[in-house]
Structures are given as structure tokens and as C-alpha cells.
Amino acid sequence: MHHMDLILTLTGGLAAALTFGYITHRLGLSPIVGYLIAGIAVGPHTPGFVADTAMAEQLAEIGVILLMFGVGLHFHLEELLAVRRVAIPGAIGQSLIATALGAIVGVAFHWRWDAGLVFGLAISVASTVVLLRILSENRDLHTPTGHIAIGWLVVEDLFTVVVLVLLPPMFGDDQVGIAGLPLVLGLTALKIAILVGFTLVVGGRIIPWILEKIAATRSRELFTLTVLVSALGIAVGSAKLFGVSMALGAFLAGMVVGRSEFSLRAASEALPMRDAFAVLFFVSVGMLFNPQTALQTPGLVAAACSVILLGKPAAAVGIVLFLGYPLKVALSVAVALAQIGEFSFILGALGKELGILDDVATNTLVVASIISITLNPLLYRLVIPTEAWIMRHPRWKTWFKPGLSTLQTVTTGKGTGPQVAKRYRAVVVGYGPVGRTLTRLLGENGIATTVIELNLETVRQLRETGINAIYGDSSHRDTLSSAGVADAGTLILSSSGMQHSEEVIRLAREMNPELRVLARTTYVAEIPALRQAGAAQIFSGEGEVALSLIEAVLRPMGATAEQIDRERERFREDVLGSGPLAENPASAEARLSKVIRVLERGDKGK
């Protein structure tokens, strides 16, 4: 019966998450709200189907490990250092203010000081998932605002990781008094230092070496498995051998993989697994929610929400403006961080496990999270009108200078170089003989090119010669995003035997509707599917051979150039369904030159 419970919990939880996630997405809200509501629906406090809470919590543990692994994977020290002047004081300052406000709320509701402190910490930290979604939906991910918000959140995440490690020795079963605290802190710091050193030095050599061997097998399943085993293995090892939280171990495992050449591929191939378990994590949090308790303590819910939606943003705006940044950046960063999510629940769960927080506190976190995540996208859309309204007042306008110098330093902090116009940027998928010739021709014609390739050795060689190359699978959104498809004018699929071509074209056109896609395929029969996916021009190996054969057969028979051209056009109309082209030179080099001309004409030349 036990394994039946597991299957029922998995199916029921995921089905409810799918249903409510879809509804909230259609309403323009974050699907996380849907997942939490799904948890409430399948939980013990609402009528209807009830999932196994203990089982859901165990599955959620894996969700936490994979979420933390993802945070480590995307943690780039360079990005943090580029915005350290604002992110480090900002995140620490805001966390301390929010923690203090949370503690005041706790004391006002007659809690113990330690419960108030942990509650304050839980509402001080924003959700990575929500933040990234808000920034990408508003196209602010790669702007100064996005860089600051992400750097800020990384500092918050690190701060939370430290808190997760320190809470058990301070408040656990074998807790020590105030006098013994320095010793415990010292021992914990030493343990963490050994673990970090061991993971980064030993793991940093062994894991990439294993990944390279596995990548050479060209097996997608083995690669995904290796990434998952690394994440779970280091997480469990950290807990068993070093006595620190699994979350810290998973974060370190993510950092190790993230620092290797496999970071992008690991993110795109192993993280769908993370998403599934993360959904279960949110569902399990929703299952803990008891609506009756929330109705009994409306004052507490209102106080927690006011800290998240008013206290935290006010602190952030003050800090960012004080550091000399423009008003729009201050408002955007403040609003993007005015929500709570996964880390708050992880801290809340640990607080409950240690007997510091009660059901009322964890319930309040769930309600405050649902309210803040629901309001967040709506509030973010008000940033620009609010800034415009403030700037219209002559007295206020003098307070907020545009602060251009600050903006420029952040923008150039990542060394992206000058902005290239879309039509002069291309992404080439595959670096075989055709891809190589194309990349050379594009470069010679002044078009900035990024190559996506699944052969690690080729990527290394390309980077050595100064060509921008990405190691990853082009059928994943993350890979296309890293290659800059959103800012490119053209995408060329240069390999004919490529799997998932339609998926690549569909994803790319979704990210950039103006993108012109040129695709290569082996068989004529594959052309309609590629055209339907959004390819502007398709070059089929079978079709090119047929066109060359038509000429080879007709020329010795004494056919004129016009007759040959007419037959070729007929073949194009009847078989390729592509209509007349301006010309169709036989040689590959000349045809590629034509592709360049198509590129340079942009959307005008079909």
C-alpha cells in the first residue's frame, strides 16, 4: 500500500499543480501561486483528495536540494563583483531591517524572541524563481536593474545559507548557552571551511573530469544522471560527513559544475528535473497551510505582508538612492525583491523542525507568500508610471538625479562591449564543414557570430581563436538565450541531421519574433514541418542534389539556360514548395555568399 500512496501523492500533487499552475499563468500571475493553491487543495485541511503529507515532504527535500543546486549553478562571482558596491550593502542592510521588523511583529504577537528572529529572517529573503521570472518577462534581466537585483539576491541567498547552517547548533537539541556560542560558531565555520575547500578543490577537479568522460559518450541520459548524482551526492555527503545542511552541499555542488565548461549544458538538461521536484516542494508547502488558522490571525498576516510589501521595498529604495543610483533602478530593484518564496519556506520548515516556529508562523509565511507573489508582477508594472509621476513634481525632481555615470559603470561591468545592431548579429548552430564556412563568411562580412556546438573540443578551439562559442544543446531555451538569440537578426541551422530542429526554431522565434531562420535539412519531406515552425528559408540536401541533377541531365541535351532555369523553378514550386528564388548557383561557396546577401538585406529579401 505504501508505494501506492507514493504514486497517488505524486500524481495527485502534480496534476493539481498543473491545473492551478495553468490557471494562474493564464491570469498573468506566477505559476508558483498555482502550485501553493494546488498544495492547499490536496492537503489535509481541505475536502476532497488528500495526499500523503510525509511522502510529499520527502519529495520536497529533493526539490530543495535541486533548487539550491540551481542557485549554485547560476552563481557567478564576476556578476556579483560587478555590482558589489550596491548589492552587498543593500542586501545586508535590507535583510537586517526586514529581520528586525519581523522580530518586532513576532514580539507584538507575544512570541519568544528566537521565534520572532527566525520569522524575521524568513520574510527578509526573496524568491529567486519569482525574481528571475519578473525580470525576464519585463525584459530587464540583462539591464543594470537586472544585474543589481540578481547580485542582491545572491548575497541574500548566501546570507540564508549561513543562517541555515547556524540555526541547528544555536537552537537544536544540543543547543548551547550564550557563553558557548562563540565556540559553536567557530566549529561550524571550520566545518564549512573544510567542506567548501574540499568541494571546490577536490570536486572542482573530479566532477568536471567525470562530466568530460560522460559527455564523450554522447549519451544525454548519462550526462543528466551524472549531474543529478553530483548534486544529490555532495548534498547528502555534506549532511552525513560534515553535519551541515544538505542545502549548503547542493549549493556547493552547483558552484562546482557552474565553474566548469559544462555549466550551460547541466543547466539546460538537468534542471527540468529540478523544476518537477521544485513544483512538489511548493505543493508540499501548500499542504501545510490551514485556512482556519489564517482566518484566526488576520492581524499577523497583515503585519507580515506590510513588512514584505512596504518595509522591505522602502529599505531597498533608501539604500539604492543613498548609493547614488537613479530612481527607476531603485524602484525596480525594490519592487522585484518585494516578495517571499522558496527560501522563506526552507527557513520556516527548519524553524518548525527545531521547535522555534509553530503552525501559525508557517501558515502566515504561506499566506504572505501567496499575496506577495500575486501582487508582485502588478506592482512591477507600476514602476515606470510611478517614476514618471515623481519626476513631474519640480521639487522632487531635484532630489533624484538621472545618475548616468552609475548606470554606465554597471552596464559595462560585464564587459559586453559595444552594442551590435540586430541585423549584424547571427547565431550558427553546428560547426561542421558548412558551419565552419558560414562562420568565416559571416565574420568576413562584419557580422558578429556566436556558434552553438555540442562538441566540447570544438568549443574550446573556437574560443581560443576568438570566436564566441557556446557548449550546449540548442533545443534548450537557456542555451539559445546564452547565445544571444533574443538580440540576433539571424539563426542558421547548419547541420542537416539535427534532431529537434522544429523545437529549436519554435523556441528561437518565441524569444525573438523578428528573427530570420535559415535551416538545413536532409530530406525534402522535412521542409513543411520546418516552414511551419517558422524557418524563412530551408536548404534540403535532397533538393539541392535534384536541382544539380536537372542541370546535369538537361545541359548535354542542348537545353538553353532559360529552359534549365524554368525546369528548376518548376521543381521548386512542385516539390520544394518554395517559389522562385532570385538565383540558385550550384557551388556551395556561391550559395553561402547568397545567404550572406540574404542576411544583409534583412527582412526585405525573402
Q: Specify the CATH number for the domain of residue 470.
A: 3.40.50.720
pLDDT at 216: 86
Rounded CA separation 440/458 (Å): 15
Domain boundary among 384, 403, 435: 384
Of 323, 354, 384, the last residue of a domain is: 384
Average pLDDT of the chain? 80
Query: Which residue's entry shows cell 498544495?
Result: 39
Looking at the fold, whether 372 and 436 belong to one and the same domain comes out as no
In contact, 442 and 596? CB cutoff 8 Å: yes
**pLDDT for the residue 287:** 83
Same domain assignment for residues 456 and 351: no
* Chain-centroid distance, C-alpha 307: 27
**What whole-number distance in Å separates Cα of residue 246 and Cα of residue 348?**
16
Inter-axis angle of helices 113-124 and 84-108, nearest 10: 140
Give the helix/strand (H/E) hosting 478. helix 477-482
Q: Are residues 330 and 224 in the same domain?
A: yes
Is residue 304 domain-resident?
A: yes
Q: What backbone phi and psi angles, to 5 degrees, belong to 242?
A: -110, -5
Cα separation, 498 vs 583, in Å, equals 27
How many residues belong to the chain?
A: 606
Q: Reply yes or no on whether the pLDDT at 198 is more than 90.
A: no
Q: Is the pLDDT of residue 403 over 60?
A: no
Report residue 179's pLDDT band, with 50, 70 and 90 as the boundaries. Answer: low
3-class secondary-structure state, position 453: strand
| Residue 26 domain-assigned (yes or no) | no
pLDDT-above-70 percentage for the chain: 85
User: Is there a single domain that holds both residue 246 and residue 189?
Assistant: yes
Residue 379, domain member (yes or no): yes
In a shared domain, residues 442 and 492:
yes
Note whether 56 and 162 are same-domain residues: yes
- Asked whether residue 101 carries a pLDDT value surpassing 90, the answer given is yes
Measured in whole angstroms, the distance separating CA 224 from the mean position of its chain's CA atoms is: 17
User: For residue 492, what are the contacts with CB-CB under 8 A and spacing of at least 6?
Assistant: 426, 427, 428, 429, 435, 438, 517, 518, 519, 520, 595
Q: How far is residue 250's CA from residue 231's CA, in Å, rounded to a whole number?
A: 5
Q: Within a domain: residue 435?
A: yes
- Within 10 angstroms of residue 460's Cβ, the number of other Cβ atoms is 12
Predicted local confidence at residue 305, as pLDDT: 94
* Sequence-distant (≥ 6) Cβ neighbours of residue 390 within 8 angstroms: 327, 396, 397, 400
* Mean pLDDT, residues 214-219: 86
User: What local confidence, expressed as pLDDT, does residue 598 receive?
Assistant: 61
Cell digits of residue 15: 496534476
Position 212 in a domain = yes
Q: Are 230 and 313 members of one domain?
A: yes
Question: Of the candidates 489, 456, 491, which has an alpha carbon nearest to the alpha carbon of residue 472?
Answer: 456
Position 594 scores a pLDDT of: 61
Residues contacting 365, CB < 8 A, separation 6+ = 119, 122, 123, 304, 340, 344, 345, 348
- Confidence band for 300, pLDDT divided at 50, 70 and 90: very high
C-alpha cell at 245: 545542511
| Cα separation, 89 vs 271, whole angstroms | 31
Regarding whether 96 and 228 lie in a shared domain, the answer is yes
pLDDT higher at 557 or 493: 493
Question: Could you tell me if residue 92 is inside a domain?
Answer: yes
CATH number at 281 reads: 1.20.1530.20
224 and 291 within one domain:
yes
Q: Is the pLDDT of residue 180 over 60?
A: yes
In a domain, 334, yes or no: yes
Look-up: residue for cell 504577537? 109
pLDDT at 89: 92
Domain contains 39: no
pLDDT above 90 (res 22):
yes
Q: Which of 359, 384, 409 is the last residue of a domain?
A: 384
- Which contacts qualify for 138-142: CB closer than 8 Å, 24 or more apart? 138/380, 138/381, 140/332
Choose between 365 and 268: higher pLDDT: 365
pTM of structure: 0.62
307 and 446, same structural domain? no
Say which residue, 403 or 181, is predicted with more confidence. Answer: 181
Q: Which domain holds residue 186?
A: 52-384
Sign of CA dihedral 227, 232, 237, 243: positive
Residue 325 has pLDDT above 60, yes or no: yes
Task: Among 91-105, 311-325, 543-557, name the one with the lowest average pLDDT.
Answer: 543-557
Contacts (Cβ under 8 Å, ≥6 apart) of 245: 161, 164, 165, 168, 238, 239, 350
Residues 430, 352 share a domain? no
Q: Can you tell me the distance from the alpha carbon of 544 to that of 493, in angstroms, rounded to the nearest whole number?
A: 16
Least reliable range by pLDDT among 174-178, 183-187, 471-475, 542-546:
174-178
Does residue 78 come out as left (phi exceeding 0), alpha (psi in the -120 to 50 range) or beta? alpha
> How far from 317 is each of 92, 133, 304, 335, CA to CA, in Å?
14, 21, 19, 9
Number of domains in the chain: 2
Helices 144-171, 342-353: crossing angle, 10 deg rounding: 0
- Quote the CA–CA distance of 551 and 567 in Å, as a whole number: 9
pLDDT digits (tens, 9 = 90+) for 102-156: 999 988 988 888 899 999 999 999 987 778 778 877 777 767 788 788 888 878 8
How is residue 486 written as a grid cell? 533574443
> At which residue does the C-alpha cell 568522460 appear?
213
C-alpha 173/C-alpha 109 separation (Å) is 25
- Please check whether residue 125 is in contact with residue 339, taking contact to mean a CB–CB distance below 8 angstroms: no
Check residue 259 and give its pLDDT.
77
DSSP bridge pairs for 195: none
Q: Are residues 432 and 563 in the same domain?
A: yes
